[in-house]
């Protein structure tokens, strides 16, 4: 009988980085499938472009740094970054947008700081914010849900639209954004923000077709799909429960208080939880092991900060969905959070104790 000695951390389930990254990508599949069915096959085209760009950028930097390429590509970190950015941008955004964003995420945000494990910010969210600030028009070209689209788009239409901004039938993206009622449509969060700013009540705004269902047409099912994938990650112990619970709990609590205080001007807590990129953020983005907090207490504070910032940006900020900005702001606070929540060494004695 042999006695094996291993250094900490002592995990019950030992998985390599590549296995963890691949499991997260696989857990994204339910959300990707639902997103493609409800908002167009353009998301599949964006995925192909993002993954190819991520691998090419990673290989280029590894070559420039005179390091082996294949082992780095096999850790699947570049793959995950490409997937997360591809599902975050509009499915029919122009092809060059995802290439610029993915290249920025890998080269600038990740590799410039030393590669995997050294980046301060979540690469996908940093790239998303860069694209949103630099190309706001292209980043807001979300089509309505399939049930509200006047023209059914095939996979070939998706390819044509991404590369030329016109479908095979000659419809432009702006025309495709027009719903079956002839009105140009935005996302539920953006529509709600615009209506409330114009003086409409919440009840009046929710009468529009884009709000079919309490979280918006299509968006409820997308969030439920990412929730299912996130629960699988929790079951497999790929991610911990603290960050997702803190994000969703904080957002729910603040939304409940504002809704109870003024129901005519504040959406319900369920609307906040199941619209936009809430579930994607809570389970797949905020839980990034590199840019998130590393202590148990810190993860709770980190998740609460993200939930707080999402609520504040959605209610008072200039952007309808504050997920990316909330994550980046929380990333900036991680060193401070970890410093004040780090566990004490066994046997530690406070200054002045025993005197």
CA distance 88 to 217: 17
300/234 same-domain check? yes
194/138 same-domain check? no
Range of the domain at 217: 186-341
Residue 276 lies in a domain: yes
Q: In the block, which residue shows the tokens 């192909």?
A: 48
Comparison of pLDDT for 35 and 170, the residue scoring more? 35
190/328 same-domain check? yes
137/190 same-domain check? no
The mean pLDDT value of the chain amounts to: 87
Within 13 Å of residue 48, how many CA atoms lie on the same side as its CB?
A: 10
138/190 same-domain check? no
Q: What is the pLDDT of residues 296-333, one digit of tens each?
A: 999 999 999 999 999 999 888 878 788 999 999 999 99
User: Strand ranges (DSSP E) for 189-343?
Assistant: none
Mean pLDDT of the region 60-85: 92
Q: Mean pLDDT lowest for which of 25-34, 54-63, 210-219, 315-324? A: 210-219
Find the helix packing angle between 29-39 and 17-27, rounded to 10°. 30
User: Residue 4: helix, strand or coil by DSSP?
Assistant: coil
76/201 same-domain check? no
208/288 same-domain check? yes
Question: So what's the pLDDT on residue 2?
Answer: 61
Residue 168 lies in a domain: no
Within 13 Å of residue 252, how many CA atoms lie on the same side as its CB?
A: 11
pTM (2 d.p.): 0.88
Q: What is the pLDDT of residues 238-286, one digit of tens each?
A: 999 999 999 999 999 999 999 999 888 888 899 899 988 999 999 999 9
Q: How many domains does the chain have?
A: 2
Let me know: does 294 contact 240? Beta carbons within 8 Å.
Answer: no
Query: Which of 144, 162, 196 finishes a domain?
Result: 144
224/333 same-domain check? yes
CA distance 294 to 300: 10
Residue 194 lies in a domain: yes
Residue 11 lies in a domain: no
Check whether 46 has a pLDDT greater than 60. Answer: yes
């Amino acid at each position: 009988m042999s006695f094996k000695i291993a250094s900490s951390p002592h995990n019950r389930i030992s998985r390599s980085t590549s296995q963890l990254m691949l499991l997260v990508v696989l857990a994204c599949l339910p959300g990707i499938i639902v997103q493609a069915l409800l908002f167009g096959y353009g998301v599949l085209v964006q995925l192909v472009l993002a993954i190819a760009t991520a691998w090419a950028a990673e290989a280029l930097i590894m070559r420039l740094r005179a390091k082996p390429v294949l082992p780095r590509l096999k850790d699947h970190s570049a793959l995950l970054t490409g997937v997360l950015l591809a599902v975050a941008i509009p499915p029919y955004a122009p092809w060059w947008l995802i290439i610029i964003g993915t290249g920025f995420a890998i080269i600038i945000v990740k590799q410039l700081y030393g590669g995997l494990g050294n980046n301060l910010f979540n690469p996908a969210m940093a790239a998303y914010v860069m694209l949103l600030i630099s190309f706001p028009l292209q980043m807001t070209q979300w089509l309505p849900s399939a049930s509200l689209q006047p023209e059914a788009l095939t996979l070939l239409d998706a390819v044509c639209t991404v590369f030329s901004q016109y479908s095979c039938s000659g419809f432009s993206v702006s025309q495709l954004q027009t719903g079956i009622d002839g009105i140009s449509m935005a996302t539920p969060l953006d529509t709600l923000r615009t209506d409330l700013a114009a003086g409409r009540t919440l009840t009046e705004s929710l009468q529009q077709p884009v709000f079919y269902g309490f979280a918006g047409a299509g968006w409820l099912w997308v969030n439920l799909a990412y929730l299912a994938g996130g629960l699988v990650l929790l079951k497999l112990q790929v991610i911990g429960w603290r960050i997702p619970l803190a994000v969703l709990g904080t957002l729910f609590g603040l939304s409940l208080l504002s809704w109870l205080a003024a129901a005519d001007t504040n959406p319900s807590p369920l609307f906040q939880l199941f619209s936009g990129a809430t579930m994607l953020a809570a389970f797949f983005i905020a839980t990034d092991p590199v840019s998130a907090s590393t202590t148990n207490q810190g993860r709770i504070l980190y998740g609460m900060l993200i939930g707080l910032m999402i609520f504040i940006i959605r209610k008072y900020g200039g952007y309808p969905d504050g997920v990316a900005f909330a994550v980046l702001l929380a990333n900036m606070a991680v060193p401070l959070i970890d410093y004040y929540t780090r566990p004490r060494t066994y046997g530690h004695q406070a200054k002045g104790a025993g005197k």
